[in-house]
Amino acid sequence: MKKKLKYGNIELDLKFKPPTIEVYEKWKREFFSIEESKKFDIYLVGGFLDKMNGKKKYTPDVDIILVGKEDVDDIEKLVYEGTRIGLEKYQVFFDIFWLDRLPDYTNSDVVKINGYLLSNKWIINGEIKKEFKAARQVRENLWNHQMTFPSYKQKKLMKEGFEYSKPIIINI
């Protein structure tokens, strides 16, 4: 069933699909053809990486973290274009953030990290599904958000014995 999605300036009808390695590899080739991608260290993290490592059976998205100079022009372009390519071409959500440093997914000590994302809201069929109320808009398609790592959900899973996969840099 198709859903009407609004995420920042991206608006489309789509049938969400779970990510596959084939789609991820195609997306990656297109994403790395964007000139600004050469200016950042780009990491694969989260559920899709855990799925690739056999730690999960399902994940709804692909989590990508950009680390590098805090240039909002370059960050906005990559976050917007990378997300747009995934949704429009593949019906897969590539959740792209710029963070001022890579979180340590093996440590339960809580740290605050400065980040940027495409929008503060996910709207599906006119209903807000996710909202970062503390985020503030800095550009047309870029919101600044202070994040805490590990999240409550991540800490809970760690306590239960789950070991997150170590982030891998994907643009070497």
* Weakest mean pLDDT among 61-75, 96-110, 137-151: 96-110
- The whole-chain average pLDDT of the chain stands at 93
Token pair of 147, please?
């994040």
User: For 4-32, how does the pLDDT look when each residue is reduced to its tens digit (9 = 90+)?
Assistant: 999 999 999 999 999 999 999 999 999 99
User: For 104-159, how does the pLDDT look when each residue is reduced to its tens digit (9 = 90+)?
Assistant: 877 777 889 999 999 999 999 999 999 999 999 999 999 999 988 888 888 888 88
pLDDT at 63 over 90: yes
What residue spans of the chain are helical by DSSP H? 21-31, 46-52, 72-90, 152-159
Cα distance between residue 25 and residue 117, in whole Å = 22
Confidence at residue 103, expressed as pLDDT on a 0 to 100 scale: 87
| Non-local CB neighbours of 32 within 8 Å, separated by 6+ positions | 171
Confidence at residue 72, expressed as pLDDT on a 0 to 100 scale: 98
pLDDT at 172 over 80: no
| Structural domain total, the chain | 1
Question: The domain containing residue 149 runs over which residues?
Answer: 3-169
What average pLDDT does range 36-61 have in this prediction? 94
Confidence at residue 114, expressed as pLDDT on a 0 to 100 scale: 96
Angle between helices 72-90 and 21-31 (to 10 degrees): 140
pTM of the model: 0.93
pLDDT exceeding 70 applies to what percent of the chain? Answer: 99
Confidence at residue 169, expressed as pLDDT on a 0 to 100 scale: 96
* Weakest mean pLDDT among 38-42, 100-104, 148-152: 148-152
